[in-house]
Amino acid sequence: MSKIKFFLIVIFFLNFNNQVFSNFVEIKVKIHDKVITNIDIENEKRYLFFLNPKLKELEKSEIQNIAIESLITEIIKKEELEKYFDFTKNKKIIDRVEKNLFLKKNIKNKENFLEILIDMNLDYNTIKEKFFIEASWNQLIYEKYSSNIVINKNELKRQIQDQIEKKKKKFLYNLSEIFFEDSVEENLNKKILKINESIKNIGFENTANIYSIASTSNKGGLVGWINELQISGKIINEINKLNINEVSKPIKLQNGYILIKLNNKKEFNQEVNLDEELKKLINNETNRQLNNFSTIFYKKLKKNVEINEY
């Protein structure tokens, strides 16, 4: 055999082996009859990087754990949702989630979105299913718990009136959040210390990915721009003490605590429509309570699921 032939065979063999090993599929987690593979985890990492690019700054093992937990959550939610929803009829609900995401990520339109997905090697159909699961889960929680929501409209109306009378200048705030439970198993002061240390070491966004149980956690805790009149009195009082990029002290809410980061703020001068602002504030308070119910319901489901990691 000539040296050239031998060299070509060796190159082919090495390339073949690299391809085989790079495509090797390994089961990492099993939930009922569903499995999570190493390929699924790599795809989930790319999706999470799209939602929160700062996640790349974490240790590889930490990113791996976040991706696995995200996939476990998705499987558990989807199994529950399949009892109620038809996953083949999803266009309207996906459009709503897409529109919300475009606003938060400053994406111009669907074409721009598809270009970003191609650049990040993400499959649009997979992302569509994630959108559907997210939106359907929110709908399910609303249907199950909307009758449990308690809102004092008169109190909220007074709150808006007080804010209008007290302040000549009005602001829009760009906010991020970390919401965590007051757990019996863990000392509250130690937990707050751990979260604050994490914020110092790896930043607010990555800490939100790890510690927050709010629906914004996989987006680095990003809430986005919000009118101050739509924020509850207890929280706005703490926000008013912050400079840009500062984080509030823990604020006690029902079922837990919240840390708020002030990313930016800008003044606005438009006339205030009291009824419209009241509707928005009621909507925000409703969503906050529904997020609490969502967390409680998911934890109940997860307790009854056997999760095997390999």
Mean pLDDT on 278-299: 90
Query: How confident is residue 8, by pLDDT bands cut at 50, 70 and 90?
Result: very low
Give the best-scoring range by mean pLDDT among 12-26, 75-89, 197-211: 197-211
Within a domain: 63: yes
Within a domain: 297: no
Query: How confident is residue 23, by pLDDT bands cut at 50, 70 and 90?
Result: low
Count of structural domains, the chain: 2
Residue 265 has a pLDDT of 94
Range of the domain at 69: 7-147
Helix (H) or strand (E) holding 268: strand 256-268
| Residues 94 and 18 both lie in one domain | yes
| Residues 68 and 184 both lie in one domain | no
| Residues 19 and 76 both lie in one domain | yes
Within a domain: 120: yes
Alpha helices in the chain (DSSP H): 3-22, 38-51, 60-81, 91-105, 110-119, 124-145, 153-166, 188-202, 204-211, 233-239, 274-303
Query: How confident is residue 4, by pLDDT bands cut at 50, 70 and 90?
Result: very low
Q: How would DSSP label each residue in 73-114?
A: HHHHHHHHHTTT--TT--HHHHHHHHHHHHHHHT--SHHHHH
| pTM, full prediction | 0.78
Of the three residues 147, 167, 187, the one that is the final residue of a domain is 147
Residue 14 has a pLDDT of 42
| Residues 143 and 259 both lie in one domain | no
Residue 88 has a pLDDT of 67
Q: What span, in angstroms and rounded, lies between the C-alpha atoms of 300 and 81?
A: 15
Query: Dihedral (C-alpha) 113, 119, 121, 126: value to the nearest 10 degrees?
Result: 0
| Residues 129 and 207 both lie in one domain | no
Residue 205 has a pLDDT of 95
| Residues 102 and 120 both lie in one domain | yes
| Residues 123 and 238 both lie in one domain | no
Report yes or no: 98 and 107 within 8 Å, Cβ to Cβ: no
Mean pLDDT on 256-275: 88
Helix (H) or strand (E) holding 246: none
Q: Which of 126, 106, 124 is nearest to 115 (CA)?
A: 124
Q: What span, in angstroms and rounded, lies between the C-alpha atoms of 257 and 183?
A: 11
| Residues 16 and 141 both lie in one domain | yes
Q: What span, in angstroms and rounded, lies between the C-alpha atoms of 284 and 278?
A: 10
| Residues 24 and 128 both lie in one domain | yes
Domain containing 59 — which CATH number? 1.10.4030
| Residues 163 and 260 both lie in one domain | yes
Helix (H) or strand (E) holding 252: strand 251-253
Of the three residues 147, 169, 196, the one that is the final residue of a domain is 147
Taking phi over 0 as left and psi of -120 to 50 as alpha, with beta for the rest, 245 belongs to: left
Within a domain: 123: yes
- In the predicted structure, residue 266 carries a pLDDT above the cut 70: yes
| Residues 11 and 95 both lie in one domain | yes
Within a domain: 310: no
| Residues 255 and 160 both lie in one domain | yes
% of the chain at pLDDT higher than 70: 89
Q: What span, in angstroms and rounded, lies between the C-alpha atoms of 103 and 63?
A: 26
